[in-house]
Amino acid sequence: MKTNILWIAAAVLALAVSCKSKSEEEKLAEYTQWNETFMSEYQAKAVELADDQEALEAYADSAINAYLEYNKAAVEANLDNKVAVAAVQNLYGLLETDEVVAYIEQITAPVHGQDSAFFATLLKSAQALKVTAEGQMFTDFEVDGVKFSDFIGKGKYVLVDFWASWCGPCRREMPNLRSVYEDFHGPDFDMLSVAVWDKPEDTAKAAEEEKIAWNQMVNAQQIPTDIYGIEGIPHIILFGPDGTIVKRGLRGEDIRAAVAEALGK
């Protein structure tokens, strides 16, 4: 089966890129070739299994594991050269941010240009996530004279949705959010939408279309996403009555479950 081939290739080629007798450019070429072969095989197999969802999911899980193992091995074996710089970027999005940062902090190879900017951004995001993790107190910010603290830490649980009008997944969460608001809004619970990376006029139009009846902050752009280390939206956070971050990264059914648990319902 091709997934077994991928696993074997991952182990063998990880050793190949770590071979001390090879130049940095040779290692990088081998690493690049493995990635190109992997993607080609993955795409072909995905087409082959398109009509068998169960088999496709099983293959995808195995292939992604192979991809992770190869790239992690490539980083660890090449901390002093360009392979590690390339591999750690391929791990981004597949591992938790703090895991990727742990690899970055071990790399001794010189990092320049766009790679340097990427690493700097990721390290900044990791620090933001650390200080705004669950259990930490909220961090305030202000947009057009309106403060986050006008809504947070006022004695209520507050569910905050960071979103944008153009964001499909954000719009798809709106029915869940409306349902939660209708069922739980009251003396102990409220909601707030914070529009980021969006034009105010587009936010207003979408808010009307989505029938947003709860509080809103508009035109926040990157201010809160930088502060809270948010790299993708929607990003939904539940804050406690005193402003403590209770849960973050909520989606789908987890939104209702987190609110119900917090309110004891």
SS (HEC) of 107-166: CCCCCCHHHHHHHHHHHHHHHHHHHCCCCCECCCCEECCEEHHHCCCCCCEEEEEEECCC
Residue 237: predicted pLDDT? 98
pLDDT in tens, 211-257: 999 999 999 999 999 999 998 899 999 999 999 999 999 999 999 99
- The sign of the torsion formed by the CA atoms of 197, 223, 230, 149 equals negative
| pLDDT at 4 > cutoff 60 | no
Q: Tell me the domain boundaries of the chain.
A: 2-131, 142-263
Share of residues in the chain with pLDDT > 70 (%): 92
Q: Return d(Cα 171, Cα 157) in angstroms, integer.
A: 23
pLDDT reported for residue 118: 81
Q: pLDDT at position 3, please? A: 47
Long-range CB contact pairs, 246-252, < 8 A, 24+: 246/134, 246/157, 247/134, 248/132, 248/133, 248/134, 250/159, 251/173, 252/173, 252/176
Instruction: Using DSSP bridges, classify how beta strands 157-163 and 146-147 pair: parallel, antiparallel or unpaired.
Output: unpaired
The pTM of the full predicted model, rounded to 2 decimals, is: 0.70
CATH H-level superfamily of 142-263: Glutaredoxin (3.40.30.10)
Residue 161's pLDDT is what?
A: 98
Give the Å distances, CA to CA, from 59 to 14, 51, 177, 211: 21, 13, 34, 41
- Minimum mean pLDDT among 39-53, 93-107, 224-238: which range? 93-107
